[in-house]
Each structure stands twice: as structure tokens, then as C-alpha cells.
Structure 1
Amino acid sequence: MADMRIIIVGGGIAGLAVALRGSSRDIVVLEASQMNKEVGALISLQPNASKIATKLGLDKYLGGKGPTRDKAFRIYNTDGELQAEIPSTERFGADRLVYHRADLHDALKQAATAIDGLGRPVRIIPSSRVMSCDSESGLVMLENGEHYSGDVIVGADGIHSTMRTIITGPDVSSPKPTGISAYRLLLDMKDVEKSRAFTSIINPREPFTTMVVGYDKRVIMGPGNNASLYGIVALIPDEHMHEASRSDSWTSNGSMKKLLESFAAFPEWILEVFKASGSSPALYQLRDIDPLESWVHGRMILIGDAAHAMLPTQGQGASQSFEDAEALREFLNDIPTPHTQAQIRKSLHDVFEARHERASLIQAYSRQQARPGTDMNRKRVTLNPAEFQEYNCAYEGARVWQAQQSSLKPIHTT
């Protein structure tokens, strides 16, 4: 009785989230990097994703990684006045959890490779750069000449996906500049608390995500890792930048001096916490992709940023990868053993049909929130933020979502 051979191209959050073991699965993850260093940043799982993590049995590995349970999203003006608070209510059935990115990655890796998990452990092979894939035969070729053959090929290789070009061609789905760049800072909480001006307005240990909006810019920040760390993302239109940002890496170094120049109009209580980091910020250019017409070709399917890269304005990037993982598991579970290729291809198309409309709408709303009123928004979503929070976080999985579509309030676009 042959196991289903699953090859996952990409060993990041999306690839490891979908590396879900089963009693009749042989799973290999091919990762281009050496996997010896994850980015030092905070990352969130929204309630829609933390519910899925529980459903997939990942709490055993994620729970010990010190997540911060976020209570609400707060919006301040530059005078330090609270303008709005959107609570993370219990009606969604789960918390919004904030992790250090490396901790989340390590937990997913442990879940995939632990000896005591369901079925055989996943094989993760680093330094395996994929050069080509025949999506009809399932043959994956590496840069070093090695090749792997699979019944299912999962393209989880991020926004600059090689696998995506196999479906769309190299020009159709290239990441598009959004006109916004982001500085990232990750601070030790003890350093943040040295800033009297900042802590007189914001208690950094309180489990709230805070956004400060002003002068066509925004600063989003909050605690993580059991409030031992404080993450900051400062978003700025490219035309107001004082240095060039790169589009190919979100880990390239920026200049603290240039960051402070770009946000010079902001009050000292914000600038003071920037300076408290004591290190150079990371700087990258925000890009996303337009919704694809298909994520599936032959026995290959795209997931995560390879399928629907989106801006971080809703914090849904990683969460949508978890939704992909749950959908793929649900529909692959329908396939009997032994299986046929026709059954596999049907299941992959079922995943796409279950996920495409939802992920595309979240892409559109993330883009709209980043630069409202600009021509980068080909369609406008008319739900307000509270309604869209409900749309995002009340999600209960691919099958439930499909069943609910006939009764859900229409999502209007213009």
C-alpha cells in the first residue's frame, strides 16, 4: 500500500504549517537556505489561525513558546490620545497570539519532525534550491542536480516564488511595489521601559497592539515572548523616505538616522522608543501580488505568500498560511489509499475553490488599508474594520466556510 508522497518546496512558516503528518504520508520539505537563522521579529496568529493550530494538534508544540495573548487593538494620534479600541473578544473562540518568529518556526519544525507524532517524521532537507518542477509528472529538480518525485507538490517558497512562475510565467505574478516601506525594530522590554516619555503614554507590558497614525505614516507596536520583547513596525510612503529600501529582502539593514529623519514630525515620545533599540532597524520595501487566476497546475498547488502574498496591515499573512494548511489537510484526507492522480488533482482544485475568494478579498483589504484612496486599489472593499475583523477571525475552517457562504452577508466591492 503506497504512501502519498508530498514534496513541499519552502521550509518557512507556510511550508512547515502545511507539513502535516499522516499515517499514509511520506513528506519531504526542500528548503533553499541552511535554516540556521530565523528573522528576529514578532509574528501573530490571529484567532482564525490559532483555532486551526488547536484543531491540527499544534498546541502541544506552540504552547511552550511563550506567546503573548493580545487583548485589543488600540489606535492613538500623535498627541498620545486614544482614538479607538477594538477588543479581541472571546466570540471568535480563540486568542490572537504573538510569537517571536523564530519560536513559531521552531515549534512547527518540532511538530513536523518529532518521533512521537502521527505517522513518519517529515524529512527537512536544507540547502536544497529548486530550479524547476514538472507539475504534470511531479518531478522536482534541484540546483545540485538531485531530483525528487512526488504525488503532490506544494509550492511554499514565498513572495519571490520560483514555483509560482511555473503556473503564471515569470512576468504575470511578479511582486508589485506598493509605494510603502517598513522599518522593523525588536527591542528588549527593559530598554523600552527606560523611556519615560513613552511609558507615560503606553504601558509596553500590557498585551495590546498599538498603532499611532499621523502625517501619512503609521507606527504599529506591541509586546511578545511573554512581554520580554517589544516589536515595532514603522510604515512610511516611499516618496517620504530618506534612504532606498530593497524589495528582495526584509532583513536588510536600514539607518536609524534616516528613520528618525523620516519620522521627524512625530513627537519625542515616539522617537525616544525608536532610539531605545540601540541597533540598526531592518528596512524593506512592501510588495504584494495581485490575486492569481489559479494556484493549481497538474499535481502542484501554491500556498502562503507564493499563492496570495499580502501586506501586513491586517496581520493575516501567517494566519492565511495556516488556513491553507487546514484546507489542504481536509481535502487530501478525502483521498483513499491506494489513490489515483485524478483523485489528487480533484482535491487540489477543491482546496483552491475553498480558499481563493477569501484569500483574495483579504489581499484586497490589506492593500486598501495601506494606502486608501490611491490607484493601487483596483477594487474597494466596503466593509468597515469591525466587520472585516469578524470576517477574518470568525473563520472555522475550509469546509465550514464553504457551507456558510450562502448565508453570509455579501462582501461588496466596487
Structure 2
Amino acid sequence: MGSTTDSQLRIVIVGGGIGGLTAAIALRGPNRHITVLERSRMLHEVGALISLQPNASKLVTQWGLDPFLAGARPLADRGFRLFDKTGKVVTEVPLHTERFGSDRVLYHRQDLHAGLREAAVSTSLPGSPVIIRTAAGVVACDAERGIVTLANGEQVQGDLVVGADGIKSVVRSAVLGDEDAAKHVPIPTGLSAYRVLMPLSLLEAVPDLPLSVSTWEPAITSMVVGGDRRVIMGPGRGGELYGMVALVPDPPVDNDKRAEEEDNSWVRPGSKAELQAAYEGFPQWLLDIFGTAPDADIGLWQLRDLDPLPRWSRGRTIIIGDAAHAMLPTQGQGASQSMEDAEALAAFLADYTESKPSEEQLLAALQKVWEARYERVSLIQAYSRQQAKPATDAGSNKVTLNPGEFLAYNCDYNGAVDWLARQKKSKA
């Protein structure tokens, strides 16, 4: 694992996905020894298109990551175009860099992940390179003492443990404790998502396709919405690929399969025929795109999220990203919010580079992360859920911001310290 000294802040990050790698990068600095424990061998990151919203893409620039991500051929998204069920354009929302200080940027998830991993272990960023251990699955965590136990029985000690281990987080259970963990498990949302990724060149054969759907110069995100179904689609990897997410109500599941699905079966191969049938009555060009996609490139995900948790930290341990606030993809904010978490954690530990924080100081810093992040991310969770199920999400938790106001809420963000100060001022 590399040598450490008593003066170094030993940081153990559980999970080597986008949130975990971003946290490792953000936390780099003098007297920091950072280890990422990833259960997989990082041989094949899940293939899909992903967006970083302006609130996150400005952090990419702030952290000096643009050179590492240039090879990913990112595309700056220049707007949203909304179609109704008949194929008519209902509204257009341009995206301008000057409004939020950065672009909404589209990546292939594999490319983004590879660039972040390269940055984490680079010698050109501040502090020592991050140590990444693969095939290092964590099966238990002592949150108070900062000790994680690996599947092989090895124990790893940290002054700070960051749980970035996703919606099925082991670290979350340790932070919440048995009773609260049992109350806060990933919940089926009643929705599933077909995810399609194909060469953009295949769209050339689709007749009557709106130009804005097939073009990538400029890149436009298109949405087709009707009833309880919606498709979000756009280009990626420099115009090489085209990605789609199509939301549908969960298919019926018989009781014999339900227990199995509650365990691990959240993902299965998607049926092109079932996808087209689910969108019967939508524009023919949309059905033709579905028909053009290679069968092997269609997957079906049961969508789950988390209700807001009563805490994110306990002792020397904090959870971030999907482990703390998994959300539906309708706002495209999942990855961006995990990056905001990483920035907040780094910001409130920024004073401790000459020496380690005391236990009291560490606890105070983790509490600041909670104060700066909880209300904001919980509202984004609620809005993401509401947008997916507008007809059934009425009630006390209903978000009253309109889409334009919420776009500003999402993207007009300049870090946790600034956000906390603005919120305190607005409530004064």
C-alpha cells in the first residue's frame, strides 16, 4: 500500500467509480496518503453515455482535469429540445457557457472513468499519486474506528474512510447502524430504463429523422415525452456514438422471481420488440431508431433510488455519491452530485495539509459537508423523482420550482463553502 508517516492523513476510499476517483483527486495534497479500494479489476467500466452538468464540469477545470479528459473527445451540449408524443417540438432550452460559467459536457462513461483514473495516479497533480487497489472488495466497516475489512480478511485502517461504493453500499450500513440501515434500502421506483448505445452513423438510415436529433455539431440533447414514458438521447465520443435512455413502467414480475430481483437482478438484456411495443404510438422515427440499434447494445435497468438518509457520517467515516443519495437519471445529476460531494469534502479539510486534523476537527469537517450538501442534494433527488413520475409524485415533498428555475438551482453552483454562505444569508 505504500509507506505512511504519523503526520500524514490516511484516507481510504471504498469504491473506484466516478465518485470515488473524483474524491481521491479532490483530496490530494501535502501530507495526504490516499488509497482507493475497488472490488472489480477495473477491466471494463459500464458502457453508456453520461453528462457532467455545468456545476460539475467547472470542477473538472478547477481540478486541472481537462488535459486528462481531452482524449475522451467530450462534446459540449448546446441545448435541450423537447418533443411531444406526436413528434412535435414543444420547447427548446439553449445552454450557454456564459450563463453558468461552464458547459454541460457529454462523455462515454468508459472514457470519463479512464481519464479520472489516469489523473488520480498522475504525478503532475498536487500531492502524492493515489494508490488504487483492484479486486479489493470491502465486506465490513467499523465507522467509528475507520477500519474496513476486505473479502480476504485483510483490515485497512484510515484516519478518514469515504464510502463511495454505490447504491448497494456496504459502508452506508455501517454509518447508519443496523436499525436505520434496515429502514433505508434502495427502493424500486416503479420504473425501468432501456439503455441503448450505438454508432451514430446508423441513424443515417432512419427516414424523416429531425436534423437536431442526428447532428452532433452542435450537440443537442433531445427528449421525447408522452404520458408515463420518456426518452432522453444524444451524441457522445466526438460524434462517434449515440446514446438513449428510455423510461418505462416496470414490467410485471411473478412472485417466484421477485425475491431474486430483490437480491441482485436489477439488470437484464433488453428486448428490442418489447422496447418498440412500449413506445407504440410515438413518432415513427423514434421507433425506427430503436429498430436500428444492435440487439446486443440494448439493456434494461430497474431503476432504484434512496429516500433521504438521517446521516451521512459516523465517527471517521462518511458516505458520498450514490451511497448517500442515489437518484433517478431524469436530471442527469447523479455523477455531478458525487463530484460536488468530493469538492465539499476537500473544501472542509483544506486547512489540514501541514498536519492531520484532530478527531474533533475531523468530525466538525464531516458535519460541515452534511450541512452544505444535504438540503441541496435532497431537493435534486426529489425533483429527479418527480420528473419521472409527475402524475404520482404529488404531496408534501412535491417540488415547486419550474424547470427553468431548477436548471438554475442545479447549475448555478460555485462550491460548498460559497453555497453554505449563500444559504445562511438567504435564511437570515
Contact 2:203 2:214 in 1 (8 A): no
Q: Which residue of 1 aligns with 2:86?
A: 79
Alpha-carbon distance, 1:377 to partner: 6.0
2: CA distance between counterparts of 1:160 and 1:235? Answer: 22
Aligned residue for 1:257, secondary structure, equals: helix
Contact 1:175–1:288 (8 Å) recurs in 2: yes
What is the alpha-carbon distance in structure 2 between the residues aligned to residue 176 and residue 338 of structure 1? 38
**Alpha-carbon distance change, 249 to 315 in structure 1, aligned in 2, over 3 angstroms:** farther
**1:394-405 residue pairs with structure 2 within 5 A?**
394-405=412-423
State how 1:2-401 maps to structure 2 within 5 Å.
2-20=7-25, 21-89=28-96, 90-168=98-176, 169=178, 170-199=181-210, 202-205=213-216, 206-238=218-250, 248=264, 252-280=268-296, 281-335=298-352, 336-375=354-393, 379-401=397-419
Task: Give per-residue Cα distances to partners, 1:290-321, cap 9 Å, x unaligned.
Answer: 01111010000000000111110100000001
For 2:389, give the aligned amino acid. Answer: R
The 8 Å contact of residues 186 and 231 in structure 1, kept in 2 or not, is answered as: yes
Counterpart secondary structure, 1:258: helix
Shift of 1:204: 3.4
Partners in 2 of 1:404 and 1:192 — Cα distance? 46
**CA deviation after TM superposition for structure 1 residue 378, in Å:** 5.0
Distance 2:403 2:423 in 1: 20
Q: Distance in 2 between matches of 1:176 and 1:376?
A: 18
Range with bigger deviation, 38-47 or 262-271: 262-271
After superposition, the C-alpha distances for 1:132-178 in whole angstroms (9 at most, x for unaligned) are 11111111111101111000000000011111111223412100111
Distance 1:8 1:276 in 2: 41
Deviation (angstroms), 1:201: 7.0
Where structure 2 has 5 or more consecutive residues not aligned to the other structure, the ranges are 1-5
Return the alpha-carbon distance in structure 1 between the equivalents of residues 197 and 152 of structure 2: 36
Provide TM-score, normalisation by structure 2.
Answer: 0.91
AA matched with 2:151: E
Deviations 1:223-277 (A, max 9, x none): 11111111001001225899x9957466531111211222222232111001111
CA distance in 2, matches of 1:117, 1:386: 37
Q: Does the aligned pair in 2 maintain the 1:164–1:173 contact within 8 Å?
A: no
**Following TM superposition, by how much is the alpha carbon of 1:202 offset from its aligned partner in structure 2, in angstroms?**
3.1
**Larger deviation, residues 383-392 vs 254-263:** 254-263
Moved more, 266-275 or 303-312: 266-275
1: CA distance between counterparts of 2:209 and 2:243?
A: 14
Q: Greater shift after overlay, 111-120 or 69-78?
A: 111-120
Q: Which moved more, 1:255-264 or 1:41-50?
A: 255-264
Shift of residue 3, structure 1, vs aligned partner:
0.8
- Structure 1 residue 66: Cα displacement: 0.6
Gap change, CA 1:339 and 1:39, over 3 Å in 2: same
The 3-state SS of whatever aligns with 1:171 is: helix
Q: Secondary structure of 1:380's match?
A: coil
> 1:265 and 1:241, CA in 2 relative to 1: closer, same or farther beyond 3 A?
farther
- Please name the residue that 2:3 is paired with: none
Q: Deviations over 1:361-411 (max 9, x none)?
A: 11111111110131586501101000000000000100111111145599x
Partners of 1:201 and 1:40 lie apart in 2 by 24
Query: What is the rounded CA distance, in whole Å, between the counterparts of 1:96 and 1:241 in structure 2?
Result: 37
Per the alignment, do residues 376 and 305 of structure 1 end up closer, same or farther by CA in structure 2, a change over 3 Å counting?
Answer: farther
1:6 aligned partner, one-letter code: I
SS at match of 2:392: coil
Name the % identity.
50
Structure with the bigger percentage of helix: 2
Distance 1:376 1:9 in 2: 36
Q: Is the 8 A contact 1:155 1:302 kept in 2?
A: yes
Change in 2 beyond 3 A, CA 1:73/1:183? same
Alignment partners' CA distance in 1, 2:163 and 2:311: 13
State the distance in 2 between where 1:44 and 1:110 align. Answer: 19
Aligned residue identity for 1:103: D
| Partners of 2:228 and 2:332 in 1: CA distance | 20
Give me the whole-angstrom Cα distance separating, in 2, the residues matched to 1:361 and 1:38.
Answer: 29
Asked if 1 retains the 8 angstrom alpha-carbon contact of 2:85 and 2:224, the reply is yes
| 1:93-142 CA distance string (max 9 Å, x none) | 00000000001001110110113332211111111111111111111111
**For the residues of structure 1 that align with 2:212 and 2:358, how far apart are their CA atoms?**
61
Conserved? CA contact 1:10–1:31, under 8 Å? yes
Q: Cα 1:254–1:372, aligned 2, differ >3 Å: closer, same or farther?
A: same
**In structure 2, C-alpha distance between the alignment counterparts of 1:38 and 1:377, rounded to whole Å:** 38
Deviation at 1:350, TM superposition (A): 1.1
